[in-house]
Amino acid sequence: MISMKKHLISQLALSAGLAFIAFAAQADDVQGSAKAGAGKVWLCTGCHSIPDYRADYPLVYRVPMIGGQNAGYIAVALSEYKKGERKHPTMRAIAGSLSDQDMADIGEYYAAQTSSSPINPLK
């Protein structure tokens, strides 16, 4: 049991490190723009702007509100969906249509949203 926990912790640490490296590499190449992202989030809002929304395909899944999330995290997550490293079919299809610039812009747009932002149906 202890060996299993150590293995899990080491795997989590490795994953976090790789995600950070991927973010750092992407940050060097592409600079996102919240303003440009505002015109690219129309498809995201169908799920991510609904409080307590749950998707039911392929499994029941709680859809997170992503306003205020770290821009790099969003860009990396979208990239992982595009590559098939994350396994939600709807997100994979959507991310597959996005360029690296689109992902960075969307990340910056959502990172700029906070609970104190004006009412915004796109957050």
What is the CATH number for 44? Answer: 1.10.760.10
pTM for the model: 0.70
**Structure-model confidence comparison of residues 112 and 25, the more confident one:** 112
**Model pLDDT for residues 15-36, shown as the tens digit of each residue:** 555 555 555 555 568 999 999 9
d(CA 21, CA 25): 6
What rounded mean pLDDT belongs to the chain? 81
Residue 29's domain comprises 2-111
Can you tell me the mean pLDDT for 110-119? 78
Q: Is 19 within the bounds of a domain?
A: yes
Can you tell me the mean pLDDT for 59-88? 93
**Total of domains in the chain:** 1
